[in-house]
Amino acid sequence: MAPPGQAQRSPSPSQPSGKGEVSDLKAQLRQLAGSRAPGVDDSKRDLFKKVISYMTVGIDVSSVFGEMVMCSATSDIVLKKMCYLYVGNYAKGNPDLALLTINFLQRDCKDEDPMIRGLALRSLCSLRVANLVEYLVGPLGSGLRDGNSYVRTVAVIGILKLYHISAVTCIDADFPAMLKRLMLNDPDTQVIANCLAALQEIWTLEASNSEEASREREALLSKPLIYYFLNRIKEFSEWAQSLVLELVAKYVPSDNNEIFDIMNLLEDRLQHANGAVVLATIKVFLQLTLSMNDVHQQVYERIKAPLLTLVSSGSPEQSYAVLSHLHLLVMRAPILFSSDYKHFYCQYNEPFYVKKLKLEMLTAVANESNTYEIVTELCEYAANVDIPMARESIRAVGKIALQQYDVNAIVDRLLQFLEMEKDYVTAETLVLVKDLLRKYPQWSQDCIAVVGNISSKNVQEPKAKAALIWMLGEYSQDMHDAPYILESLIENWEDEHSSEVRLHLLTAVMKCFFKRPPETQKALGDALAAGLADFHQDVHDRALFYYRLLQYNVTVAERVVNPPKQAVSVFADTQSSEIKDRIFDEFNSLSVVYQKPSYMFTDKEHRGPFEFSDELGNLSIGADAADTVVPAHQVDANDKDLLLSTSETEKEDGRALSSNGSAYSAPLYDAPASVPASQIQSDLVNLTSGLSGHVPAASLAIDDLLGLGLSVTPAPAPSPPSLSLNPKAVLDPGTFQQKWRQLPISLTQ
Amino acid sequence: MLQCIFLLSDSGEVMLEKQLTGHRVDRSICAWYWDHAISQGDQLQPVIASPTHYLFQIVREGITFLACSQVEMPPLMGIEFLCRVADVLADYLGGLNEDVIKDNFVIVYELMDEMIDNGFPLTTEPNILREMIAAPNIVSKMLSVVTGNSSNVNETLPAATALCVPWRTSDPKYANNEVYVDLVEEMDAVINRDGTLVKCEIYGEVQVNSHLSGLPDLTLSFANPSILDDMRFHPCVRYRPWESHQILSFVPPDGQFRLMSYRVRKLKSIPLYLKPQLTSDAGTCRLSLLVGMRNDPGKTVDSIDVQFQLPPCVSTADLSSNCGTVNILSNKTCSWSIGRIPKDKTPSLSGTLVLEPGLQRLHVFPTFQLGFRIMGIALSGLQIDKLDLKNLPHRPYKGFRALTRAGHYEVRA
């Protein structure tokens, strides 16, 4: 990634106010409004451009609204577009003035040119003024029946926009049912995809107050529909493919053959040029095979190569997003990636956040066979110029050591770090050596010899200092001058700013006292005195506690401070496995990038200082859709999280409230503006069936499917012969299953 | 669902704002983003959580493309889309910079309007967009002056949307039919100070530039497809012939496009070596570098250069070379451009680094990044066997080229 250089970045420039210019513009526009002189369009265009450029830099030009509308009577399409843009921007703030635009927009909706019809319809729906919805229903209805697919695409999304302005109007006009019909019958795949997107959103939002809507929403996941989409998947645009795949990932197939058939059909999507499609496909594969252990592992094998290619081929931004997903998979099944460790080696000029992900993966995949090489590689980073990176890699070495592979070699490396005489390397290493000794006390001899040589003056970081002091206390019998080092540290008590270090110092000097009383007695006295006078509550309390303990009974005190210790076998993991499972279920979503399940960051409390309208609830389609359907084989992840389910109900409530709110403001529209719904439907049927030869074929395919049941490769829709990409699966089901059985599995657990 | 897209200049100014849904995203998010970007420097992640929105950002030629969302969505959908927007704009406007966007912001708005509606991407196919909105090139400007028709919107809607090959302009016509196939490879390698190869891998692309009339059907085959480890295809490639015979069969889009990208792993030989030597003693460090051919690829290697970052503890550096030029920038980046390796001598760079007072020896070592370019060969060894064209009235001209350059090619000291 190449963000603009530090020096170039300055705070946002202040925006000019431009009051005088705006009133100038207003006068000029007024002059042109009625004029029909030749060339007037060109001067209008210049003025419009100025208005919009003011709007873009943030000057309020809403005062010329009236003039803009007056000038909008033109046949020039660029002028129209600029006008639509302007109107769309300011209509919400000026509902009364917006009424002025309705007239010319409605006229444009009946234009001969389909492009103008589409644009006008889009702008009409983008006004988003609640008291104008009555004017939307008519144009939208005819838009859905338009002969041109471009207009229909726009109309479908327009209905979604209408729903957000006034849900009641949308439902009353029976638009969802029309969308459904269009989705099943339209020859144009973009129309179908838009219908799917709109219906998913509408039905998810409606589900809470209508039985029918929630039934419809579930019907989207029914076999005939899923098959209908799958069979045409290659005709969809790449973005629509991602949408369909997202839906398929929630589908629960009836048996294993069906799972294999779907995977067979989708396997080539793994080699699509668009990363979004590849990841969506991977999600389908992972979700479908959750219940089949062996195949699930093979899926990992199969998706490894596409993921690694995506990481190396895209822009830095893309590869980061892919890497986050790879990171999730590696953390889930490190064994399966243990032979690919070289892919996680860091390149010198990668940004730090990428290197950090890679280091974590390297740590995770380390095992008996590759530890030596991985640790060698990590040591290279430790000696590198990049200081944060050096620190992270030392920590990684330590983590690998705690995983119990090849500890011997690693301890040697760590001790070499201590000899590098770089303060940050020493600091990080000390912390690690401390952890290592807690787990492997048998290494104390080797470590202590080296640690004893470190001058405490060179260690400044509190964590490292605390670690060093802990070792001095714990192994004071083996370290010749431990009492004296502690003594000199206590002499500088006043200069020690970190309370953590002072606490450790107290404990260490106590431990040392029980092992070598004569040498430590003076130091202990000084330490307790300094501790009792300390302003920090914890330090003070601990000093007091030790003091009274010693007063009470010295042997008891020894038992408390120096009990026989057991080696720590497992260090607590920072992230619980439930959370990891939850994130895995949300594969191909932001959760993966943030490494948090979505309920942790899409909750409302999270939202901060910026002001927001209550439309928030309306928009949360993506997150909700992910939660709405719970395939049976996800049970393991589901019953774990009470927290989640409460937050979900909260969300539901919020949504119900907000949609009620918008319903409240919806006015009744007068009957003449809309044709009775049933009539529209029958019109629609007549029209669409007359549209093209594709239609009967498509609906036939559905009937076939309903009858056929299991076969995933039904008759493809007939299309111009020489060009059709064959929608049939590449391999017959038997061969495909065979091929999958032969995929290598690194290790079966 | 993206809610809003902003284009920011390299000084953080909002150049363009495209609201996509009913929920207006306030501009103040840009100010927040900009402060955040300054505080993070080059550690800025592509996906950020602001207090109110999730932000996707990519930076191209100093221009920040910022998209906002408040709901869970596939992250790659956001990022890929922004990348496509940047590609399409660069293609339309002949490059990306602040001026060109400000001059053509109407076109940018028009394009965005067709690419995304209500936060959901519609089409990003350049061919379809081109048929809906004409590019602001000189020809169309001339035309508008001559004919008096100054609209840059095409009168007809693209027919391709209805076809089964949405990526292809309907029925282009060329007097000279020609097609060029380029193999472009990038070699990533990590080499340790003792010359051992830690990892070496090639990322390659098959780029096609096609100017063919009508609806041609092409098949491209390789002499040794088995060396490829993994590949990704342009949507025009038919999957079945590849699966069964490793043949690329496709109806090409018009113009330049990336037909396929691939990866070749576990390569054993690298073309160039670099031998660094660092000896430090009593506060100074002697540095010497040697660069030379390791495995002669049989073609000229040119544009060779070496870049490295001097450790922060170096106070002054005095470096000279026997060929090429050496530059040390104020941020302690050192670059040595060699060009071609001369016949009579081995390029070498040597000099002394003076360490900061108090330091005896150098403890951190630089990584050397080597750049080079080799025309006429694909180092992975991939070879095109033949290209067949069907459905064409005349015999077209076919051209093949290959090029390998260094990707992340680094040598550790």
Is position A603 within any domain?
yes
Integer CA distances (angstroms), A710 to A260, A284, A739, in order: 11, 18, 20
- Contact between B153 and A380 using a beta-carbon 8 Å cutoff: no
Task: Report how many domains make up chain A.
Answer: 1
Work out the pLDDT band at A688, boundaries 50, 70, 90. very low
pLDDT of residue A572: 61
From chain B, pick out residues whose CB is under 8 angstroms from the CB of A274: 80
From chain B, pick out residues whose CB is under 8 angstroms from the CB of A590: 47, 54, 72-73, 75
Is position A648 within any domain?
no
Q: Is B152 in CB contact (< 8 Å) with chain A?
A: yes
How many other CB atoms are found less than 10 A from the CB of residue B259? 22
- Contact between A621 and B110 using a beta-carbon 8 Å cutoff: no
CA B223 to CA B225: how far, in whole Å? 6
CA A43 to CA A499: how far, in whole Å? 73
Asked if residue A125 lies in contact with residue A669, where contact means CB atoms within 8 angstroms, the answer is: no
Q: Is B392 in CB contact (< 8 Å) with chain A?
A: no
From chain B, pick out residues whose CB is under 8 angstroms from the CB of A249: none
| Beta-sheet pairing, B397-412 with B178-191 | parallel
Which B residues in the span 100-119 are in contact with A, Cβ-Cβ below 8 Å? 102, 105-106, 109-110, 113, 117-118
CA A239 to CA A242: how far, in whole Å? 5
For A390, nearest residue in chain B (alpha carbons): B364
pLDDT of residue B137: 55
Q: How far is A350 from chain B (nearest CA, A)?
A: 10
- Contact between B72 and A272 using a beta-carbon 8 Å cutoff: no
For residue B14, pLDDT over 60 is answered with yes
- Mean pLDDT over residues B388-392, rounded? 83
Q: Is B42 in CB contact (< 8 Å) with chain A?
A: yes
DSSP calls for A720-736: -TTTPPP-S-SS-HHHH
Q: What is the ipTM of this complex?
A: 0.82
Least confident of A39-43, A646-650, B68-72, B280-284: A646-650
Q: How far is A698 from chain B (nearest CA, A)?
A: 15
Least confident of A4-18, A58-72, A220-234, A589-603: A4-18
Asked if residue B222 lies in contact with residue B382, where contact means CB atoms within 8 angstroms, the answer is: yes
Work out the pLDDT band at A571, boundaries 50, 70, 90. low
Which of the pair, A655 or B221, is modelled with greater confidence? Answer: B221
- Contact between B46 and A1 using a beta-carbon 8 Å cutoff: yes
pLDDT of residue B322: 86
For residue A481, pLDDT over 50 is answered with yes
Work out the pLDDT band at A697, boundaries 50, 70, 90. very low
CA A150 to CA A30: how far, in whole Å? 34
pLDDT of residue A60: 78
Work out the pLDDT band at A489, boundaries 50, 70, 90. confident
Is position A584 within any domain?
yes
Beta bridge partners of B401: B182
HEC letters along B97-147: CHHHHHHCHHHHHHHHHHHEECCEECCCCHHHHHHHECCCCHHHHHHHHHH
- Contact between B71 and A278 using a beta-carbon 8 Å cutoff: no
Show the tokens assigned to B286. 């002697």
Q: Is B36 in CB contact (< 8 Å) with chain A?
A: no
For residue A604, pLDDT over 80 is answered with no
For B148, nearest residue in chain A (alpha carbons): A39
- Mean pLDDT over residues A602-606, rounded? 48
For residue A737, pLDDT over 80 is answered with no
pLDDT of residue A664: 37
Number of A:B CB contacts under 8 A?
A: 335
From chain B, pick out residues whose CB is under 8 angstroms from the CB of A235: 164
Integer CA distances (angstroms), A104 to A41, A69, A157, A703, in order: 17, 9, 21, 44
Integer CA distances (angstroms), B130 to A125, A230, A240, A596, A613, in order: 25, 29, 20, 41, 37
- Contact between B122 and A153 using a beta-carbon 8 Å cutoff: yes
- Radius of gyration of the CA atoms of chain A, in A: 34
Query: How does pLDDT run across B85-137, given as a tens digit for each residue?
Result: 998 888 888 888 888 888 888 888 888 888 888 888 888 887 778 777 766 65
Is position A590 within any domain?
yes
CA A258 to CA A264: how far, in whole Å? 10
What range does the domain containing A602 cover?
577-607
Q: Is B3 in CB contact (< 8 Å) with chain A?
A: yes
Best of B71, B163, B170, B334 to mutate (most A CBs within 10 Å, chain A) = B71
Best of A274, A651, A662 to mutate (most B CBs within 10 Å, chain B) = A274
Mean pLDDT, rounded, of chain A: 73
Query: How does pLDDT run across B324-373, given as a tens digit for each residue?
Result: 888 888 888 888 988 888 888 888 888 888 888 777 777 778 889 999 99
CA B163 to CA B386: how far, in whole Å? 28
Query: How does pLDDT run across B173-213, given as a tens digit for each residue?
Result: 788 888 999 999 999 888 887 888 888 889 999 999 888 88
Q: pTM score > 0.95 for this model?
A: no
Is position A251 within any domain?
no
Best of B24, B117, B197, B248 to mutate (most A CBs within 10 Å, chain A) = B117
From chain B, pick out residues whose CB is under 8 angstroms from the CB of A150: 157, 161
For B26, counting Cβ atoms within 10 Å of its Cβ (0-12 exposed, 13-18 middle, 19+ buried), the class is middle
- What are the helix (H) ranges across A475-563? 482-491, 499-515, 517-532, 537-552, 554-561
pLDDT of residue A602: 56
Work out the pLDDT band at A131, boundaries 50, 70, 90. confident
Query: How does pLDDT run across A267-306, given as a tens digit for each residue?
Result: 888 888 888 899 999 999 988 888 888 888 888 888 888 8
Query: How does pLDDT run across A19-34, given as a tens digit for each residue?
Result: 677 788 787 777 776 6
CA A685 to CA A691: how far, in whole Å? 10
Least confident of A70-74, A131-135, A356-360: A70-74
Asked if residue A681 lies in contact with residue A174, where contact means CB atoms within 8 angstroms, the answer is: yes
The partner residue sitting opposite A589, judged by closest CB among B24, B73, B162, is: B73
Integer CA distances (angstroms), B1 to B77, B309, B398, in order: 9, 42, 44
- Mean pLDDT over residues A617-644, rounded? 38
Work out the pLDDT band at A600, boundaries 50, 70, 90. low
Domains along the sequence of chain B with CATH: 4-158 (3.30.450.60), 178-268+379-412 (2.60.40.1170), 272-375 (2.60.40.1170)
- Contact between B72 and A52 using a beta-carbon 8 Å cutoff: no
Q: Is B98 in CB contact (< 8 Å) with chain A?
A: no
Query: How does pLDDT run across A39-50, given as a tens digit for each residue?
Result: 777 777 778 888
Is position A601 within any domain?
yes
For residue A11, pLDDT over 60 is answered with no
Query: How does pLDDT run across A656-677, given as a tens digit for each residue?
Result: 444 443 333 333 334 343 444 4
